[in-house]
Structure 1
Amino acid sequence: MSENKSQETAVNTITLETAQAWAQKWRATPGATVKAHLIPQIDITQLMNEEGVVDVRAYIGIDETGENKLMLVGVDANGNDLIDDANGQYIYDFTRPCPDTCDVKSPLF
Structure 2
Amino acid sequence: MAKNTITLQQAQEWAAAWRSNPNNTVKAFLIPNVDLTQLLAEEGVQDVRAYVGIDGNNEQKLMLVGVDDNGNDLINEAKGQFIYDFTQPCPEKCDINSPLFNLK
TM-score by length of 1: 0.88
Tell me how far 1:41 sits from its aligned partner. Answer: 0.3
- Give the aligned partner of residue 94 of structure 1: 86
The two structures, once aligned, show a CA RMSD in angstroms of 1.1
1:67 lines up with 2:59 in the alignment: yes
Structure 1, residues 4-33: CA drift from partner, whole Å, max 9, x if none?
A: xxxxx7211011111111111111112111
1:81 to 68, 73, 87: 73
4+ runs of 1 displaced by more than 2 Å? none
Partners in 1 of 2:11 and 2:51 — Cα distance? 20
CA drift of 1:47 comes to 0.6
Task: Specify every segment of 5 or more residues in structure 2 that has no aligned partner in the other structure, as ranges.
Answer: none
- 8 Å CA contact 2:63, 2:83 repeated in 1: yes
- Give the aligned partner of residue 36 of structure 2: 44
Taking every aligned residue pair, what percent have the same amino acid on both sides?
67
Structure 1 gaps, min length 5: 1-8
